């Protein structure tokens, strides 16, 4: 049933406000609640069709902002404090995950792209869960955060590289992601020089009282500059958005009130629209087919195995076996990045609609269950 643009705007706006409240009551992540709401009103539920292009535009904007904030969340000061040995150890665990993901993807008949999808984790769920349990500064918390940061960054970069390889083969086009890193390095150098010459101007970016919101403007400008440069190079804009956020985080180690403003603007309105849009396009009916259901169940099982087994290596880093197991549980949570990867794969025909729906279901289940199980294990 198609509804007009005015009614569509009312429905989505009310949902953005009400769904997080209901999600807290149901004790599920608000993002999961937003996807479930989208499923309820979309093609798998009421079958509502929102007229106009506004919803698609806002959802895409929210998607880019989500990737920008994912890069924005990387704490480079934290990485420096960890030291080379800890970073190398976390890298080894990540590559063990990739190896297992590749092994199971091959056994299940999926392509290499599924390896990248399964290797993702959710930094955005791991950090709040650790904060809620008071473990973010503990040894287990530090190990989980470092592993999640590396998994987020490397899987996104791997997705960008593989998508180019799939479209163009092994040729000079593969160098394009390197060009965006060169561009990022030039922007970083320029901004650091400007910060050195005009420190008082840069302080305005993180001030609470700024009537023209210079910091928010600068952040969004950086986001779209990198998205635009990605478009010029013909690579996925999500990589540009992610790098833009990471660059901002690298320059401004203390972001203070600016982080609050961007998180409020993003997670308060635009990003929920993206997840509602994802839910509206989710086709639950395809999972009713027996073979597809088996594939979804297999992916769900593999998603836990490939994170839990490598996490047992944390035992060599001073964690108990119970802490190693619970670390693997929390790292199994997948949400924003796996949905982004699934959206890219569907657009490029790397995965079909059935696999896309299975991945969305996987994201809903792991992001709901992993934090609950982690808290349960830690409280026992």
DSSP 190-249: HHHHHHHH-HHHHHGGG-S--TT-HHHHHHHHHHHHHHHHHHHHTS-HHHHHHHHHHHHH
Per-residue pLDDT, 119: 92
pLDDT at residue 104 in the model: 92
C-alpha 82/C-alpha 88 separation (Å) is 10
Q: Answer for the pair 248, 222: CB distance below 8 angstroms, yes or no.
A: yes
d(CA 280, CA 21): 20
pLDDT of residue 171: 64
Average pLDDT over the chain, rounded to whole?
A: 79
- Threshold 0.85, pTM exceeds: no
- Given a cut of 70, whether residue 202 has pLDDT beyond it is no
Look at residue 379 in the predicted model and tell me its pLDDT.
73
Taking the C-alpha atoms of residue 122 and residue 363, their distance in angstroms, rounded to an integer, is 10
Supply the pLDDT for residue 116: 92
**Which pLDDT score, from 0 to 100, does residue 149 have?**
82
- Indicate if the pLDDT at residue 5 is higher than 80: no
Q: How far apart are the first and last CA of the chain?
A: 49
Contact present, 230 and 240 (Cβ < 8 Å): yes
Mean pLDDT of 280-284: 76
Question: What mean pLDDT is predicted for residues 40-69?
Answer: 78
- Report how many helices (DSSP H) and strands (DSSP E) the chain contains, helices first: 17, 2
* Interval 22-43: pLDDT, tens: 888 887 777 778 888 888 887 7
Query: 160: pLDDT confidence band, cut at 50, 70 and 90?
Result: confident
pLDDT, position 60: 83
pLDDT category at 208 given cuts 50, 70, 90 is low
Higher pLDDT, 280 or 380: 280
pLDDT tens-digit readout, 297-337: 888 899 999 999 999 999 998 888 988 999 999 999 887 78
Taking phi over 0 as left and psi of -120 to 50 as alpha, with beta for the rest, 4 belongs to beta
DSSP E strands in 42-186: the ranges are 49-50
Q: What is the chain's length?
A: 380
């Amino acid at each position: 049933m198609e509804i007009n643009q005015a009614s569509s705007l009312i429905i989505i706006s009310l949902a953005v406000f009400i769904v997080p409240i209901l999600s807290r009551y149901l004790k599920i992540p608000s993002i999961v609640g937003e996807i479930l709401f989208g499923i309820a009103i979309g093609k798998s539920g009421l079958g509502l069709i929102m007229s106009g292009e506004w919803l698609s535009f806002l959802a895409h904007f929210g998607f880019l902002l989500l990737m920008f904030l994912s890069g924005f969340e990387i704490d480079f000061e934290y990485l420096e404090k960890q030291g080379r040995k800890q970073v190398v150890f976390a890298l080894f665990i990540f590559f063990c995950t990739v190896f297992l993901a590749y092994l199971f993807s091959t056994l299940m008949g999926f392509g290499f792209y599924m390896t990248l999808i399964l290797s993702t984790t959710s930094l955005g769920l791991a950090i709040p869960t650790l904060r809620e349990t008071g473990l973010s500064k503990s040894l287990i918390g530090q190990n989980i955060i470092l592993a999640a940061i590396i998994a987020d960054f490397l899987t996104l970069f791997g997705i960008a590289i593989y998508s180019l390889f799939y479209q163009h083969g092994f040729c000079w086009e593969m160098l394009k992601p390197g060009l965006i890193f060169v561009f990022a390095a030039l922007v970083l150098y320029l901004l650091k020089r400007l910060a050195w010459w005009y420190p008082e101007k840069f302080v305005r970016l993180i001030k609470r009282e700024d009537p023209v919101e210079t910091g928010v403007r600068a952040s969004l400008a950086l986001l779209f500059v990198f998205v635009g440069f990605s478009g010029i190079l013909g690579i996925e804009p999500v990589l540009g958005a992610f790098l833009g956020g990471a660059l901002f985080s690298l320059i401004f180690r203390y972001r203070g009130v600016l982080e609050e403003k961007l998180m409020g603007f993003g997670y308060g309105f635009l990003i929920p629209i993206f997840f509602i849009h994802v839910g509206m396009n989710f086709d639950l009916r395809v999972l009713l087919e027996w073979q597809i259901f088996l594939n979804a169940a297999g992916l769900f099982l593999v998603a836990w195995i490939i994170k839990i087994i490598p996490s047992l290596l944390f035992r060599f880093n001073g964690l108990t076996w119970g802490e190693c197991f619970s670390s693997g549980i929390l790292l199994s949570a997948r949400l924003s990045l796996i949905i982004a990867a699934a959206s890219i794969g569907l657009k490029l025909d790397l995965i079909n609609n059935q696999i896309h729906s299975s991945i969305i279901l996987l994201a809903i289940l792991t992001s709901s269950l992993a934090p609950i199980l982690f808290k349960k294990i830690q409280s026992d």
